[in-house]
A and B are shown apart, each in its own frame.
Chain A
């Protein structure tokens, strides 16, 4: 698995990534997913990561970028058949 930006989050990231891969290949890709089954693991991972992002000052940069993105999303993330 890919490494986390924050080494202290590697373990919980790996748990989440494994859960996601299983869900993605067995449920999502088969069109049988009803909910995101890895949400609770993601919350743990997110908790660890958000501390690391804050400590590195990346959180504010991300917020700005994602706000900019929201404006563009409607335009670019639509399916073009």
Chain B
């Protein structure tokens, strides 16, 4: 009983720029629900030239009213309106030599209700000419492709994207799996086996299952998650595109300046917000 959402897309930006934008994607005008982003581990392996990063995001989210109806609020720790905060753990590995970046994000809380795992695979496409070049020149062709970003001479951080017509392919998948009720069932089985008949915390928790079978409740929650994933995925892409546009316009300086403005707006709930400029602002708007 697992649901999948998957989509493919092509960014009209070179692969290295897309990987940089991935690390710089919050805050952006489409991610005003992301409150913080911290790097909690990072490892560079000089032998493989791969970079592994683990980050922790804190997001403000609104539980879909449909979920609120299904589950008691005390169980979810949300306010009456369904407002809650949740931690998202994100792992990424970049291999710039081979031209791929794999990312995986998952929610840390409510995993007993619904576990959402989002994966993205970024790939630098290989052209026919490149394939032939690789055959003849080995890795030399790959080294030349790193010339996509221009740097200012004084050592300042000011990477700019050169428009080379290069693209990056991305495949996104979201896996939704509800484990609702499974832990309780497991625990009850253990207690039964141990001859423990005390049912103290069972009646309350099992009460709302009365009219639902566990599996249909799981299915409903997975479907609600799927609907939300379908709605938020386009916003995630728009956010990346804004960061990439800023990079193309004014390099890293412009990206950082944009982030500063977005962050101010999130902190101050700017009265004229982004919505007037960018349409649907929040990534996880409720229906």
Contacts and interface: CB of A to CB of B under 8 A. Distances in A.
B37 A2 contact: yes
A15 interface: no
A57 B46 CA distance: 34
Contacts of A2: 26-27, 34, 36-37, 259, 263
Contacts of B93: 77
Interface string B227-271: 000000000000000000000000010001001100100010000
Chain B contact-residue range equals 35 or more
Interface string A7-49: 0010001001110111011101111011110000010011001
B87 A29 contact: no
B40 A80 contact: no
Interface string B88-110: 01010111111010101010110
Interface residues of A, number: 43
Given A62-B108, A76-B119, A21 B19 contact: no
A17 B20 CA distance: 12
B287 interface: no
A31 B51 CA distance: 11
10 contacts: A3-B27, A3-B36, A3-B263, A9-B38, A31-B146, A46-B40, A49-B38, A73-B91, A79-B95, A79-B100
